[in-house]
Structure 1
Amino acid sequence: MRTLCASTLIGEFFVIGFAGLVAMKGDLSAATIWTVCGIGMLLSVLLCGMLSRPGAVQTGWVLQAGLIASGFVVTEMFILGAVFAALWWASVHYGRRIDEAKARWAAQAEPQASAGPDAA
């Protein structure tokens, strides 16, 4: 799950940065735009390293909600936020399935490895 979620978060890092550039054309000050974008970009990178900790997935959902809400400043972010929220859901959902399959496979391979090569 960590690999899929981290890939999504790195993609969001770049999208948040580019959205900040687009938002510069609006009425908000540059300091406001880059403070908000900087926090979002920092959060996306920090979450990559914290995905194995409790609450990281829920914090990722908060980031997805913020990305969608940024559509009130940059209209295109409604669509991009929804796309990344769908990617986040898929990363969490299918990542957990992959982790479960890996655990089952490792549990099946363990008895064969402990029997040694002479058991065959």
Structure 2
Amino acid sequence: MRLTPTNPLRSALMSVLVFEVIVFWLGFAGMVQVSGISPVTAGLWVGAASLLAIVATAGLRRGWGYPVGWLTQLAAIALGLLTPWMYAMGLMFTLIWTISFVLGKRLENRPNPNKEAGHP
């Protein structure tokens, strides 16, 4: 469940993870102000989810970041336990992550007409 290092969708996956960190911390205010979660609890949850995303971003270059990226998607959805609108944000990012990954796999699996014609 990895993309090749030359796959252009790997950059898209990295971008998804970076934007998730931003949205997690924007959600922190909603958790505290709207849902009444203590700042310490919200900070621990958001910090853990952000750390997962940052570690996954770094690991995508080496290949081991893909499983961590999938865990980040679960963490994004789980933040909905602290404030309900994060369910929507988590599902949206999970959908973008999944679509980017599937499209990346399709790019890798498509036939290369140059190789079939004997060109390098």
CA distance in 2, matches of 1:102, 1:4: 19
Partner of 2:67: 58
TM-score (norm 1): 0.75
Match of residue 41, structure 2, among 8, 32, 35 = 32
Instruction: Give the corresponding residue for 1:87.
Output: 96
Whole-angstrom distance in 1 between the partners of 2:29 and 2:59: 27
Alignment of structure 1 residues 1-120 onto 2, 5 Å: 1-25=9-33, 26-98=35-107, 100=108, 104=112, 111=119
Partner of 1:24, secondary structure, is helix
Q: In structure 2, do the counterparts of structure 1 residues 30 and 105 end up closer, same or farther at CA, with 3 Å as the change threshold?
A: farther
**Amino acid of the structure 1 residue aligned with 2:21:** F
| Paired residues of 1:71 and 1:78 also in contact (CA < 8 A) | yes
What root-mean-square deviation, in Å, do the aligned CA atoms of Structure 1 and Structure 2 show? Answer: 2.6
**Which ranges in structure 1 are unaligned for 5 or more consecutive residues?**
113-120
- In our comparison, the structure showing a higher alpha carbon Rg is 1
Supply the distance in 1 between the matched residues of 2:29 and 2:113 (Cα, whole angstroms). 46
Which residue pairs with 1:118 in the alignment?
A: none
Alpha-carbon shift at residue 7 of structure 1 (Å): 1.1
The structure-2 alpha-carbon separation of the partners of 1:106 and 1:33, relative to structure 1 and needing over 3 Å to count, comes to farther
The whole-number CA distance in structure 2 between the counterparts of 1:15 and 1:47 is 16
Deviations 1:12-71 (A, max 9, x none): 111101111111123332122112212212221221121133442222111111111211
Q: How many equivalent pairs are there?
A: 111
Percent identity over the alignment is: 24
If the length of structure 2 is used for normalisation, what is the TM-score? 0.75
